[in-house]
Amino acid sequence: MNRLFILSAILALTFAVAVLGARDFENVEGYTFGEYMVDFKKLYSNKEDYHHHKLIFERNLATIVAHNKDPQNSWKMGVNKFTDFNSYHMKNYFGYNHKMSAAMRARYPQTNKTHFHSIKLRDLPASVDWRNSSIVTDVKDQEMCGSCWAFAATECIESAVAQATGQLLILSEQNMVDCTPNPSKCGGSGGCEGATAELGYSYVISNGIASEDDYPYKGVDGNCDESIPKSASITSFVMLPQNDYHALMVAVATIGPIAVTVAASPWSLYSSGVFKGCPQPGQDVDLNHGVQLVGY
């Protein structure tokens, strides 16, 4: 999969930030933990848990205030449901298994790089937003399950089916989480413990996928139920050249939404603007999240 360096990309994130009421969650100087608990319906199991998350919240709030005061920043941070989380808590909201992807990459069909590079970037539209074409479902919440791989795959299948049939279905991530096999156990056990979009696609090619109504999402590993009727299927998929900006730009402009892998850890406090928090050359990059790219 491709790392995403399109700074103005529009991402259908599986952990989208909800805007609650009329409160301005970017201008939060003086905002209290008590207000936060009410606004985001936070409950803690005991005093120790309460004080632990309060400390994290206060540190993150200071970071948000300082960041937003700097006029040099091209993007704004804001308070959201993750503001009382640290990096340890955020791991539960990812789930892309890069070791598994690297180990199994050679098994999957890959596109001809020459095809994509025959199209010049200057000939592409200045901007693309597939949400305006009625082939992208609303942003979903994977909850505390490492199922981003299933969300990225299912959302792209929804878009492909909509392009082919004109019907935008809402398909079942839980079907994919419960039923996608990982026979080689390459770097993970699948389900909520993490996998890749490629494994999800392969499952749907062989078995089809149910609708969300018929096989609703639970956010935990469940027993596979193949007796539930299937609502859609695909016949094939291909992988873009890895880390190829040109190919990714051409693909999203000319084909449709793409399942991509991203380093999502720096995004938890993002609110608005053009994000420029990507790791710089020489810095470690943790590709830990699968999402659907719907434009640039």
CB contact set of 76 (below 8 Å; sequence gap of 6+)? 26, 67, 68, 271, 272, 273
Considering only CA atoms, which of 177, 214, 219 is closest in space to residue 199? 177
- Look at residue 3 in the predicted model and tell me its pLDDT: 40
pLDDT for 28-50, tens place per residue? Answer: 999 999 999 999 999 999 999 99
- Give kind and range of the element (H or E) at residue 75: strand 75-77
- Look at residue 44 in the predicted model and tell me its pLDDT: 94
pLDDT for 140-182, tens place per residue? Answer: 999 888 899 999 999 999 999 999 999 999 999 999 999 998 7
Q: What angle is formed at CA 75 by the lines to CA 257 and CA 3, rounded to 5 degrees? A: 40
- Look at residue 110 in the predicted model and tell me its pLDDT: 63
Comma-separated ranges of CATH 3.90.70.10 domains in the chain: 95-293
How far is CA 40 from its chain centroid?
Answer: 21
Token pair belonging to 199 = 């494994």
pLDDT per 10-residue tile (average), the chain, 296 residues: 37 40 85 96 94 96 97 95 86 62 59 81 96 94 90 97 97 96 60 87 96 97 95 93 91 95 86 84 78 95
- Look at residue 2 in the predicted model and tell me its pLDDT: 44
- Look at residue 47 in the predicted model and tell me its pLDDT: 95
- What SS3 state is found at 294? coil
The neighbouring-strand residues paired with 4 are none
- Look at residue 264 in the predicted model and tell me its pLDDT: 83
For the domain spanning 95-293, the CATH number is 3.90.70.10
